[in-house]
Amino acid sequence: MWLRHFCGPTACALVGALPDLRSGMRSFEEDLAVRGLSGTEVVLDQDMIAAASRTYEEDALGLVAGGPAEGYRVMMWRYTEQAA
């Protein structure tokens, strides 16, 4: 799972890539809803998924990325009053 928050002058959003088959995803999303966040799925085209699935080398911090991105859902959550 990957999560990142973005804040602008008047609103913030939480964006995440969630694996469908990982334990706890449903309760994680329910917890966000209880806290007033409304989720929207971000649809990616096949070219974007292919680019995200490329293998990368280890960087200076020792972080390695890569592997298939299929089966992940990209979601964006905002507070309900911001989503309207």
| Residue-by-residue pLDDT tens, the chain, 84 positions | 778 888 888 888 898 888 777 678 889 889 999 999 999 988 888 887 777 666 666 656 665 555 566 677 888 999 877 555
- pTM, to two decimals: 0.64
Nearest-angstrom CA–CA distance, 48 and 53: 9
Phi, psi of 47 (to 5 degrees): -65, -40
Q: Is residue 42 helix, strand or coil?
A: strand
